[in-house]
Structure 1
Amino acid sequence: MTVNYSLDASSSTFLGTQRLLFRWKGSLWKSTSAELLLWLLAYYALSMSYRLAMNPSQKRVFADLAVFFNTYSEFIPLTFMLGFYVSTVYNRWREIFDHIGWIDTPALMIANFVRGTDERSRMIRRSCVRYLVLLQAMVFRDVSTPVKKRFPTMQHVVTAGLLTQNEKAVMDSVDSQYAKYWVPMQWTFSLLKMARDEQRIESDHVYIDLVDSIKGYRSTIASLTLYDWVNVPLVYTQVVTLAVRSYFLLALLGRQFLVTDRDISKARTMDIYVPVMTILQFLCYFGWLKVAEALLNPLGEDDDDFEVNYILDRNLQVGLLIVDDAFDQKPQLEKDIFWGDTTAEPFYTADSARRASHPNVGSCAEYAAKNDGVMIRQRRPTVHLTSGELAIDGGIEAVPVLGSGRVEDVEPSIRRLSSAFSDSIFRRLQGLTSRKGSLASISSLDASETRASTPAAQQKFMHSSPGTGRCEIPICPLATKPASSSANQRAHLSFRGRVAPTADLPVISEERAEKLKSDDSNLLDMTTLAQNNDTDAVVKGRGQKSYSDNDEDGKTHWRM
Structure 2
Amino acid sequence: MTVTYSGEVASIGGFKKLLFKWRGSVYKLVWKDLLFRKIAMYSDHQSTLIPLSFAIGFYVTLIVQRWWDQYRTIPWPDNMAILTSALIPGKDDLSLMYRRCMLRYAILAMVLTMRMICVPVKKRFPTIDHLVQAGLLLPHELQAYNDMEAKCPYSIYWLPLLWAKGLALDAHDKGFISNDHNLKLLLEELTPYRKKCGRLLSYSNICIPLVYTQVVTLAVYLHSMSSLLGAQAPGEEHHDMDTYFPFFTVIQFIFYMGWLRVAESLINPFGEDDDDFEINKMIDRNVQIAWIMVDHEHCKTPEVAKDIYWDERIPVRLLYNTAGSKKVESIPEKGTTNGVSVSVEDAIFKPNLDNISHTPQLSKISSQKRLMVRIRKSSQPNPVHHNPAARTYSVCQSSPARAD
Q: Which one-letter code corresponds to 2:290 in the other structure?
A: G
Q: Which one-letter code corresponds to 2:218 in the other structure?
A: L
Distance 1:189 1:432 in 2: 75
CA distance 1:426–1:189, shift in 2 (3 Å) = same
1:438-459 deviations in Å (ceiling 9; x for gaps):
xxxxxxxxxxxxxxxxxxxxxx
- Correspondences of 1:11-160 after superposition (within 5 Å): 55-160=29-134
Distance 1:233 1:359 in 2: 51
Q: Which residue of 2 aligns with 1:221?
A: 197
CA distance 1:179–1:132, shift in 2 (3 Å) = same
2:287 aligned residue (309, 316, 322): 316
SS in structure 2 of the partner of residue 146 of structure 1: helix
Q: Which one-letter code corresponds to 1:323 in the other structure?
A: V
Asked whether the equivalents of residues 67 and 266 of structure 1 are also in contact (C-alpha less than 8 Å), the reply is no
Distance 2:213 2:158 in 1: 33
Offset of residue 374 of structure 1? 2.2
Which shifted more, 72-81 or 296-305? 296-305
CA distance 1:140–1:301, shift in 2 (3 Å) = same
Q: Could you say which structure has the higher helix fraction?
A: 2
Distance 1:219 1:422 in 2: 67
Asked whether the equivalents of residues 41 and 233 of structure 2 are also in contact (C-alpha less than 8 Å), the reply is no
Distance 1:370 1:193 in 2: 71
Asked whether the equivalents of residues 66 and 254 of structure 1 are also in contact (C-alpha less than 8 Å), the reply is yes
1:327-347 deviations in Å (ceiling 9; x for gaps):
110011111101131331321
Q: What CA RMSD, in Å, does the superposition of the two structures yield over aligned residues? A: 3.0
TM-score, reference length from structure 2? 0.80
List runs of 5+ in structure 2 lacking aligned partners. Answer: 1-27, 381-385, 390-404
Offset of residue 428 of structure 1? 5.3
Q: Which residue of 2 aligns with 1:424?
A: 365
Q: Which one-letter code corresponds to 1:362 in the other structure?
A: G
- Higher relative contact order (Cα pairs below 8 Å, separated by 6+ residues): 2
CA distance 1:266–1:365, shift in 2 (3 Å) = closer
Q: Which one-letter code corresponds to 1:305 in the other structure?
A: D
1:265-293 deviations in Å (ceiling 9; x for gaps):
18974443222111100111111111211
Q: Which residue of 1 aligns with 2:23?
A: none
Q: Which residue of 1 aligns with 2:250?
A: 279
CA distance 1:112–1:79, shift in 2 (3 Å) = same
Distance 1:115 1:343 in 2: 34
CA distance 1:229–1:147, shift in 2 (3 Å) = same
Offset of residue 422 of structure 1? 5.3
Distance 1:362 1:269 in 2: 53
Distance 2:110 2:361 in 1: 65
Distance 1:62 1:222 in 2: 56
Aligned residues: 353
2:309 aligned residue (338, 342, 347): 338
Q: Is 1:178 matched with 2:154?
A: yes
Asked whether the equivalents of residues 257 and 266 of structure 1 are also in contact (C-alpha less than 8 Å), the reply is no
Distance 1:275 1:188 in 2: 64
Q: Which one-letter code corresponds to 1:289 in the other structure?
A: L
Q: Which one-letter code corresponds to 1:109 in the other structure?
A: L
1:349 aligned residue (313, 321, 325): 321
Which shifted more, 93-102 or 356-365? 356-365
Q: Which one-letter code corresponds to 2:232 in the other structure?
A: Q
- Correspondences of 1:249-268 after superposition (within 5 Å): 249-258=225-234, 265=236
Distance 1:420 1:94 in 2: 56
1:187-209 deviations in Å (ceiling 9; x for gaps):
00011111111111111111101
CA distance 1:199–1:144, shift in 2 (3 Å) = same
Q: Is 1:374 matched with 2:349?
A: yes
Q: Which residue of 2 aligns with 1:291?
A: 262
CA distance 1:308–1:422, shift in 2 (3 Å) = farther
Offset of residue 362 of structure 1? 1.8
CA distance 1:56–1:431, shift in 2 (3 Å) = farther
Q: Is 1:361 matched with 2:334?
A: yes
Which shifted more, 422-431 or 207-216? 422-431
Distance 1:428 1:374 in 2: 20
Offset of residue 415 of structure 1? 5.7
Distance 1:246 1:416 in 2: 70
Distance 2:104 2:244 in 1: 64
Offset of residue 217 of structure 1? 1.7
1:325 aligned residue (296, 311, 315): 296
CA distance 1:415–1:165, shift in 2 (3 Å) = farther
List runs of 5+ in structure 1 lacking aligned partners. Answer: 1-53, 259-263, 377-396, 399-409, 436-516, 523-546, 551-560
Q: Which residue of 1 aligns with 2:394?
A: none
- Correspondences of 1:464-475 after superposition (within 5 Å): none
Asked whether the equivalents of residues 73 and 250 of structure 1 are also in contact (C-alpha less than 8 Å), the reply is yes
Q: Could you say which structure has the higher strand fraction?
A: 1
Q: Which residue of 1 aligns with 2:15?
A: none
Asked whether the equivalents of residues 137 and 312 of structure 1 are also in contact (C-alpha less than 8 Å), the reply is yes
1:331-379 deviations in Å (ceiling 9; x for gaps):
1111110113133132111110121236341222343234644266xxx
Asked whether the equivalents of residues 257 and 267 of structure 1 are also in contact (C-alpha less than 8 Å), the reply is no
1:397-433 deviations in Å (ceiling 9; x for gaps):
57xxxxxxxxxxx96xx4689x766533434557899
Q: Which one-letter code corresponds to 1:97 in the other structure?
A: Y
CA distance 1:271–1:92, shift in 2 (3 Å) = same
Q: Which residue of 1 aligns with 2:169?
A: 193
Q: Which one-letter code corresponds to 1:423 in the other structure?
A: K
